[in-house]
Amino acid sequence: MLNALVTVAAEESHEAAPNPLLPEMYDIIWSAVCFLVILFVVWKVALPRLTAMLDARSAAIEGNIAKADEAQRQAEAALEEYTKQLADARKEAGDIRDAAREDGKRIVAEAKANAATEAERITATAHTQIEAERQSALVTLRSEVGTLAIDLAGNVIGETLSDDQKAAAVVDRFLADLEASEKAKN
């Protein structure tokens, strides 16, 4: 019996001893009420503010991404424009160089043509002047040679040849014979 009493007492004491893993019922109820109040406050106050803040931040990030994309497009357009202008400038510089070369060639050709024309003119003038001086020398020489020939012929013949027509005929015949002998030698 004693055993039975100890067993019954142990059972009663066992029921009376609280379980350390399972809290009391009033603690569970008050904890649930506090949890529901906190859940309600978070659901109605904190969560909308957090959502609004995250939406604003997302919109700002998307706006910055859009601005960055637009800036990148503008930079690419500016780079294309710069590249186009650079290519146009290089082409224009090449055209200017080619034009300058052509102008240089044209100027050199004109200078050569002018120099050739001037040389031909100077040569023609010199030939004309030489021919005029030759004719003048020939006329002077004829008259002097004629005078000398008439004096010499007069001395040889012993009479004066004063007739100008006869003297001119004798001089002309003498010079013609002289020229013929000169041409025969050449």
The pLDDT of residue 40 is 95
The pLDDT of residue 69 is 93
The pLDDT of residue 37 is 96
Q: How far is CA 114 from CA 60, 74, 117, 138, 180, in A?
A: 78, 58, 5, 35, 42
Query: Could you report the per-residue pLDDT of 8-37, keeping only the tens digit for each?
Result: 545 555 555 677 788 889 999 999 999 999
CA distance 108 to 104: 6
pTM of the model: 0.38
Mean pLDDT of 166-172: 69
**Burial readout 73-89 (b: 16 or more C-beta within 10 A, e: otherwise):** eeeeeeeeeeeeeeeee
Q: Which two tokens stand for residue 106?
A: 């044209």
Residue 26: half-sphere exposure toward Cβ, Cα within 13 Å: 0
Mean pLDDT of 61-84: 94
The pLDDT of residue 122 is 94
Using the predicted structure, report yes or no on whether residue 119 has a pLDDT greater than 60. yes
The pLDDT of residue 155 is 72
The pLDDT of residue 90 is 94
- The proportion of the chain whose per-residue pLDDT surpasses 90, expressed as a percent, equals 56
The mean pLDDT of the chain is 84
Mean pLDDT of 171-183: 78
CA distance 112 to 104: 12
Using the predicted structure, report yes or no on whether residue 113 has a pLDDT greater than 80. yes
How many residues would you count in the chain? Answer: 186
Using the predicted structure, report yes or no on whether residue 178 has a pLDDT greater than 90. no
The pLDDT of residue 149 is 72
Instruction: Report yes or no: 143 and 175 within 8 Å, Cβ to Cβ.
Output: no
Mean pLDDT of 57-64: 94
